[in-house]
Amino acid sequence: MRKEKYKAKCPKQILMADPAYFEGDGKNPYEYDRMAYEPPPGFKMGILLSERWDPVLAGETLYMMGLYFAPEENLDRYMDFGIEECYSCSQYYVVVDNVRYRVTADGRQHDVETGAEGDWGLYQEFYSLEGKSTRLCAVHIGFLVPKREAFERMREMMYSLFEGVQPERKEKHPGKKRDSPCR
């Protein structure tokens, strides 16, 4: 399956919600499902645009823009799904009721027309155990996008929301295999 990795300047705040949450349609804004995140000091951001086969959805292909937040020295490992040292995870899904969602990052915004209601966002926190206390290792935020022109739409979204976006440079090591992040 296809994937593209990027790095970008870490925003101070990210918010995902139904556009009506932002527009004040007369309802209490807290009646809308939403996700808000403010990265802690020392966390950096990586972006992974991916295409994944989902066996749960009868073999459907999902397209996701994943935002990964972690200390710089661990960010690449988490982006490659190397979360084995994390002992617990909490997560929730963001449900869209009006066939579109809006993402804002430090005042910039991007709307995504989904074409359907349902779970279009995912928020996950990963923790490690240090003595008797837990420590936040990483955060993953995922935005699903519709299939049509998925990678082009994800790139457009990424460049409109985040500053300093740079594609990851692939280093080629002929004949050298990468260690799997999962053991």
**65-99, pLDDT tens digit by residue?**
999 999 999 899 888 876 666 678 888 888 888 88
> By CB neighbour count within 10 A (0-12 exposed, 13-18 middle, 19+ buried), where does 152 fall?
exposed
- Write down the pLDDT at residue 166: 96
- Write down the pLDDT at residue 52: 82
| Model-wide pTM > 0.75 | yes
- Write down the pLDDT at residue 67: 97
- Would you kindly state where each structural domain of the chain is located, as residue ranges? 3-167
- Write down the pLDDT at residue 38: 97
Task: Report, as ranges of residue numbers, the positions in the chain whose pLDDT lies below 50.
Answer: 173, 175-183
